[in-house]
Chains A and B, each alone.
Chain A
Amino acid sequence: MKGQVHLMEYVLLSFFVLLIIVMLTFFLTGWQMSSIGSEKTRVIYNKAEFLMRAFANSPYINRNTYKEGSMFEDVKLLSITCENLQKLYGTDWYAEIETIEASESCTEENFPLCGKWSYCKKEGESITFELPVNIYRVVTGKVEPAILKVGLYR
């Protein structure tokens, strides 16, 4: 009887030690997987932020005299296409510029009485950054505020 009790104590102890090892293994594996996931998200965030800065300062769409960038010419915004921009910035991203006054999408028919330009937008989950920018209206010479949204699809 005493021997059996001693044996049971050792069995219980061994069981707990094994349980600790198994649970530690699960925890460390889970932590490693979440670290990889976080790293992936961080890379995507950095890329989306870079894309936003590059777009905001691109001489392709900015007015020439504004060296600090973020002053887009409406005529240039109308003339560029998703394919043009994909040659510069790659694929799997989108950009939208919308003035605070008008939200009608710009086409050749309603230009310049419109205030929204959209490039490479498609369905899907994305990480998006917003930035205030200006739109220079070539016809009137006026400057309007707008919001630039740049997103990277996951």
Chain B
Amino acid sequence: MKRRLKGQTSMILIVLVIIIFMAIGIFLLISSIKPVNEDYYNLYAHNLLLTVLRTHTGYGGECETYASTLACAYMKPYRGCGTSECRNLSYEITPYLIEKIIKPNLDYCLVIEPEEGMQGEKLVYGPRCDVVLNKRAKWTANEKILQYGANLNIKFFISEG
């Protein structure tokens, strides 16, 4: 009886040792997981939006900069810019501009809407906006454009693809 109990004690010890090693292994694995650098991506989103808004489009007039093109697209969508209308031009140049700069592993979505308290439609730019807007892990940048006597809110979202 005593011998059987001693044998059982050894088996229990061996099982305990295996459990301890597994726990240590899991702990080391969890400690090695690196969190995403939130500060950097927030700065990246802000700088990307600022950069594209300040860029000159080459069209002049009401569409001199990308920011003025967006304002024109929202407030005067059928105003001519070059050979195109404001709104159409904004849809043409947005992917050209943003996709040349943005990191290849990131998706984006740009939303223009009127100021709080004002009514109006939203303009949405981006090939995968539905995916980006529904992701929990995304980074946001906000800007305002003051043109034609009105404030427009610009919201820019990026997420990992």
Contact = CB atoms under 8 A, between A and B. Distances in A.
Interface of A: 5-6, 9, 12-13, 16, 20, 23-24, 27, 31, 34-35, 38, 45, 49, 53, 56, 68, 70-71, 100, 129-134, 142-147
15 contacts: A12-B10, A16-B13, A20-B17, A27-B24, A31-B28, A31-B31, A45-B37, A49-B40, A70-B47, A131-B44, A132-B44, A134-B51, A142-B56, A145-B55, A147-B101
B140 interface: no
B52 A145 contact: yes
A143 B50 contact: no
Given A49-B40, A132-B44, A142-B56, A68 B65 contact: no
Interface of B: 3, 6-7, 10, 13-14, 17, 20-21, 24, 28, 31-32, 37, 39-40, 43-44, 47-48, 50-52, 54-56, 58, 65, 97, 100-103
B135 to A, nearest CB: 21
B101 A9 contact: no
A53 B43 contact: yes
B10 A129 contact: no
* Interface SS majority for chain B: helix
A49 B39 contact: yes
A100 B14 CA distance: 63
A114 B108 CA distance: 29
A111 B94 CA distance: 28
**Which 9 pairs across A and B sit closest by C-beta, in order of nearness?**
A132-B51, A100-B100, A132-B48, A142-B56, A145-B55, A143-B56, A132-B47, A132-B101, A145-B51
